[in-house]
Structure 1
């Protein structure tokens, strides 16, 4: 459902932008696609470097607006801590956006800047030197304290919990060596923990495991549940089944698992399932993705670093699928610090670097 922006003036509109995003952006360009005066959400990207060519940046941003169904215009806002005393920051970017928008037949309602010392519209010829006072924005609506980076940090995990997960991983590998003949990574052997045997048996119904774990409480995960998920997410073939299932449903997981088995036997992987990984197809239920992300973030924080890359990369994809590219990039970068050639982490970082969002992000 689209929001009706009933802004009495530009100050009121600017005060509403953080509400559209859920945070107050910093060093960002925010574009609000519109249709007949109604907002269709908001898109945020990092401000380009000062020496960057602005026309390609503007073309990318306007291209994203064009993908929003029904958009016939836009308003843009530059958020920066830079001073407005000499001139309103973002003027060159505003001109580039205007050129690209007009080339695509989009109306530019307004382009504004909220700087560190003032704010104003790039179309306001009566704007005073240094911009208008920031207090005019606060008068309409208090600004939110958090920015786009807020909430990206992993949950805290104490040392005993991490040690317990590490022990559970060793027990799980020993159990899988008995159950499935999977070699133990470090070659060691120890008494088989019955809980590890039970966890290993859960792999017989992988989609059942992935569906059931959406009902787990991330704040109270025991070491063995953490270990079984960390073990699965460290293996691309099993991880991809999880991502497809969490973005679709239990039958989608069954299909993804069967497709993986057939692919390993030499058959082509179905295009409709592969497209989910690229952000194409029907819009997922955001509640499933949110639940999965909260769970995987907890797994990543509780797992020893040497086993953490898979869950970090999974968290990166889930954050990206929800439109949180800043968070996604942070998780992917952390995964690559542990495993420099991690495939999924590299893919997500490429998505972010090229401002590629899921197709479903542009549909209501």
Structure 2
């Protein structure tokens, strides 16, 4: 969705950012690519750590933004747990050196800077003000005319936790994994055959059409039987098949088939992977 910004001031703009990102960033550099007065969303990066090459960090960040089609401007918001420091010469905002590098790279890339803001635990301010002052966090509020998008109060880590799995389910998947590895890799019980455990026939059937199997996983990821989960894990442990899954889930079933053919040809005779497949791993190309 393209959002037309109608922010009356920087505080109102900060109220829009979580909606564009889908969460409230923390310890992050957020870049918003603009086409004129419009922006399609937000791009989040971890703040640089001590010892980070800030020039390389800024160059990479601006390079990512510039790849968004039609981008001619950028806004930057730094969310930090550090406080601003008052000095005799004025307020010093956290990560100011990094921000200077980033804005310099943006100008070198021909991008207009819409705004550059900093949100700290105690307030917010602007990097581009000659004499920055700390504004109250209460000034930041979500505009009432913005379409509802659900709860965006959590940070970027919300939803990243692994689900709690029943111990019995873990045991079933683990047992199925051992048996599958014994059948396919000759590990452990090397004499195991599908006749001794007929359920393994199902795994062999799944592996006859790997792209179709990967596609079926998307249909009901929470309802996979233990043997299907074990089969998926077996695939993802192998770089050739893992890359097929990554490319297919980033594109479509046809993309998975192309990637499997390319990976198989490379493994068999060293034939180079086609550019259309390689571009997917570089994050280029049409969206799914």
TM-score, structure 1 as length reference: 0.68
Q: Deviations over 1:234-283 (max 9, x none)?
A: 22222223233333333333333333333333150331354145235532
CA distance in 2, matches of 1:209, 1:139: 43
1:226 to 2:229 alignment: yes
What are the equivalent positions in structure 2 for 1:257-296 lying under 5 Å apart? 257-272=260-275, 274-285=277-288
Is the CA contact (8 Å cut-off) linking 1:75 and 1:110 kept in structure 2? yes
Q: 1:127-138 counterparts in 2 under 5 A?
A: 127-128=132-133, 131-138=134-141
Equivalent residue, structure 1, for 2:196? 192
Structure 1 residues 90 and 140, CA gap change in structure 2 (3 angstroms)? farther
In structure 2, the partner of 1:75 is 75
1:103-252 correspondence to structure 2 within 5 Å: 103-125=108-130, 127-128=132-133, 131-138=134-141, 144-174=152-182, 176=183, 182-187=184-189, 189=191, 192-216=196-220, 218-252=221-255
Q: Is the 8 A contact 1:85 1:117 kept in 2?
A: no
What secondary structure, in the 3-state scheme, does the structure 1 residue paired with 2:118 have? strand
Asked if structure 1 preserves the Cα contact closer than 8 Å seen for 2:263 and 2:273, the reply is no
Q: Offset of 1:27 from its aligned partner?
A: 1.3
TM-score normalised by the chain length of structure 2: 0.84
Q: Which runs of 5+ in 2 are unaligned?
A: 145-149
For the residues of structure 2 that align with 1:54 and 1:259, how far apart are their CA atoms? 37
Task: State the structure with more CA Rg.
Answer: 2
Going from structure 1 to structure 2, the CA distance change for 1:153 and 1:56 (only over 3 Å counts) comes to same
- Give 1:58 shift: 2.4
> Shift of residue 229 of structure 1?
1.0
Which is worse superposed, 116-125 or 26-35?
116-125
Q: Is the 8 A contact 1:244 1:276 kept in 2?
A: no
Q: Are the equivalent residues in 1 in contact too, given 2:30–2:76 (CA < 8 A)?
A: yes
Structure 1 gap ranges (5+):
177-181, 286-364
Aligned residues, how many?
Answer: 276
Instruction: Decide which structure has greater strand share.
Output: 2
CA distance in 2, matches of 1:110, 1:280: 27
Whole-angstrom CA distance in 2 between matches of 1:243 and 1:12: 38
Change (3 A) 1:160 1:254: same
1:75 alignment partner, SS class: strand
Q: 1:256 aligns with which of 242, 259, 266?
A: 259
Q: How does 1:78-93 map to 2 (within 5 A)?
A: 78-84=78-84, 86=86, 87=91, 88-93=93-98
Matched residues in 2 for 1:41 and 1:248: separation? Answer: 21
DSSP 3-state at the match of 2:176: helix
* Matched residue SS, 2:76: strand
Alpha-carbon spacing, 1:164–1:270, altered in 2? closer, same or farther (3 Å)? same
